[in-house]
């Protein structure tokens, strides 16, 4: 995905986490998921990941994050997990300052991550990209690997916003014989342009 598109879809965030922060976050999440799975609470993994993802992408309020996270952890019955999050779960949210403090606390618990506001339609956008990739694979792999790679590179490579019209034209031309792929591209651009 090009940087312009990423900013348009995933918010105008100029400072992304460094690799150490990402590694700490991954280690923390993997540790928590492993604990849940080892203790027989696999059914809690998906809602746990979802609440954390929704928080990081600012898709839900802090109140919703607190409630959902508390309920999810309660399902596991593991006090050790709840204690990891206690400073966030017990944080007051009545004022803007308290909300900033609570959000910062959860970010610190998650290894120093920061939140990234996404457009509300990002899940739709993500699903369309997945369908485009799957459809392009079905159309061109394994026989037309170069065509597939050229198409995907054109779709995802950095371009100036002023060149977006040309990119769209090129992609439609590459997919000229694939009406399903052309339709998915049009859906993608419709979501992107919202």
**Any idea where the domains of the chain sit in the sequence?**
17-109, 122-192
Confidence band, pLDDT 50/70/90 cuts, at residue 50:
confident
Confidence band, pLDDT 50/70/90 cuts, at residue 84:
very high
Q: Which whole number is the average pLDDT over 113-119?
A: 79
Q: What is the structure's pLDDT at 100?
A: 92
Please report, to the nearest 10 degrees, the dihedral formed by the alpha carbons of residues 5, 130, 166, 1 taken in order: 30
Q: What is the structure's pLDDT at 86?
A: 96
Establish how many alpha carbons lie within 13 A of residue 56's alpha carbon, considering only the half-sphere containing its beta carbon.
19
pLDDT, tens digit (0-9, with 9 covering 90-100), for 121-162:
777 887 898 899 999 999 998 889 889 888 988 887 655 666
Residue 119: exposure state from Cβ atoms within 10 A (0-12, 13-18, ≥19): middle
């Amino acid at each position: 995905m090009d940087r312009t598109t990423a900013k348009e879809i995933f918010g105008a965030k100029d400072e992304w986490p460094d690799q150490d922060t990402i590694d700490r976050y991954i280690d923390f999440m993997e540790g928590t998921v492993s604990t849940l799975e080892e203790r027989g609470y696999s059914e809690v993994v998906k809602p746990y990941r979802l609440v954390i993802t929704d928080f990081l992408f600012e898709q839900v309020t802090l109140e919703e994050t607190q409630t959902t996270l508390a309920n999810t952890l309660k399902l596991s019955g593991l006090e050790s997990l709840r204690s990891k999050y206690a400073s966030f779960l017990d944080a007051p949210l009545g004022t803007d300052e308290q909300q900033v403090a609570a959000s910062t606390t959860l970010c610190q618990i998650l290894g120093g991550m920061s939140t990234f506001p996404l457009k509300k339609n990002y899940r739709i956008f993500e699903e369309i990209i997945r369908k485009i990739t799957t459809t392009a694979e079905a159309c061109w792999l394994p026989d037309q690997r170069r065509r597939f790679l050229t198409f995907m590179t054109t779709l995802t490579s950095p371009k100036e916003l002023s060149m977006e019209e040309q990119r769209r034209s090129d992609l439609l031309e590459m997919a000229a014989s694939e009406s399903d792929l052309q339709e998915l591209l049009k859906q993608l651009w419709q979501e992107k342009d919202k």
